[in-house]
Amino acid sequence: MKTAFCVAAALVASVNAVSGPESPQDCQSIYQDEVNKIESTPATKCDALVELSKCLGGFPRNEELEKTLISQQSTFCEEKGYWSNEDAPNVRVARNNMLMTVGDQKSVEFHRHRRETVNVFSLDTTVTKLLASMDDMKTTLQEKMDEIDNKLVTNKKATEDTIDAAVKQLQQDQKDSEDAMTITLNSFKGKISGDLTKQSDALDQQTKDVDKAIDDLKDDVEDTATELSKQLKGNVTALSTKVTTLQADVTTPKIHMWSGGAKSHSRGSGFAEFVLDRVEYDTAKPYFQKDSNTRFKALKTGLFTMKWNYMMYTHSNCNRYADMYVNNKRVIYEYNHGDSWKKNYVEITWRIKAGEIFYMRSQVDCGNPYRWHQSSAWDNPYGNRLQVTYTGDLAKSCTSNQGLC
């Protein structure tokens, strides 16, 4: 370890001597100078590789230099145990950036007391997956719109072809009729002028009838084309509405929550289940529901968050208790003591399986006890409130030895 420290110090000194590396190639040059020294050993080379990784961490990713970090040299360093002792995590400033560095397989997490934990690397993975999912949705939507456009073009072409064919047929029929009438007139040229006049009138009427039939057919074709256009426009509008609804569901997911509490005081000693006869908000289904006047039932397996606040009373310095049961097992227990009215708060997130029953209890053991203060309305400042929210489920890799599974 003394040798490793000397190599790391030499590498840092080399970096400082040039007022800090200005590019990934500067990091590579510093690393190569250390490796090429005559007195270099496998241990110093492995330490130099670690310093190269830290140096590259201050610049945008360089694929060529990344290959150095994943080459056989890193495998060699791990197998020979040169990296068995990990560096302590550190925070430093480089080029006006704050850099946090941890060893291999270590995490960077941010904590807010009694609320949640954010893992930087898990968050990056989740964002990458979400962006990929959104790209897939955009591709699918574009394919659907292209398919509709193709159908519109095909239907329009088919309609135009049908109209053209009908007009040509009518024109051919008219021509055939005129040819036939011409033959008939020629065959009766020897008849009296009265017969010729009648034949001429008949021909005129037939021509008018044919023209009217053509006009009627054109009107029918135009009406059909107009109706088809309206239907296609309606289909496109409906599809656009569905897409808008889908986008709204993705960006604004529905919250499944029950909020309410107890309308009346609960007096006396001993445990009592918290009463649920005041309902403020209920969108619990299809994930859970109120199963009785004091208990809930999970309809689907997942994580549920319970937030319970209420007032307790005793005129003596007495013990006060609160707990929560899931499937007849206590999963949280709160205890304090004191006198007069005091606020009590219980919060927990727990994985509850479909079909399991869960509920909250409270107890004060002496001094004219009130387990909780009544709250007949939501805006009662001395009242009580229990809020249960379905928050999703754990990853499929969750196993029974992790407690919540």
The fold for domain 257-402 equals: Jelly Rolls (2.60.120)
User: pTM (2 decimals)?
Assistant: 0.41
The residues facing 257 across adjacent strands are 389
Instruction: Give the tens place of pLDDT for each residue, 95-116.
Output: 667 767 776 657 777 776 655 7
Which residue matches tokens 């009463």? 275
User: Does the structure show a pLDDT above 70 at 381?
Assistant: no
The residue-averaged pLDDT of 266-286 equals 92
Question: What is the residue-averaged pLDDT of the chain?
Answer: 79
Q: Please give the pLDDT value at position 323.
A: 93
pLDDT of residue 19: 56
**Per-residue model confidence (pLDDT) at position 12:** 45
User: How many other C-beta atoms can be found within 10 angstroms of the C-beta atom of residue 29?
Assistant: 14
Report the range out of 35-49, 66-80, 193-207, 269-283 with the highest average pLDDT.
269-283
The percentage of residues in the chain with a pLDDT greater than 90, rounded to a whole number, is 21
pLDDT of residue 326: 94
DSSP output for 272-315: EEPP--EEEEE--TTTEEE-SSS-EEESS-EEEEEEEEEEEB-S
First-last CA distance in the chain: 42
Query: φ and ψ at 344, to 5 degrees?
Result: -130, 140
| Band of residue 69 on the pLDDT scale cut at 50, 70, 90 | low
Question: Tens digits of per-residue pLDDT, 200-251?
Answer: 788 888 888 888 888 888 888 888 878 887 887 777 677 767 656 655 554 5
How does pLDDT run across 26-39, given as a tens digit for each residue?
888 888 888 888 88
What average pLDDT does the segment 398-405 reach?
66
Which stretch of 248-257, 344-353, 371-380 has the lowest confidence by average pLDDT? 248-257
Residue 121 pLDDT > 80: no
Domain boundaries, the chain: 2-106, 162-250, 257-402
> Cα–Cα distance between 299 and 256 in angstroms, integer?
12
Which residue in the block uniquely carries the two structure tokens 């890193």?
A: 74
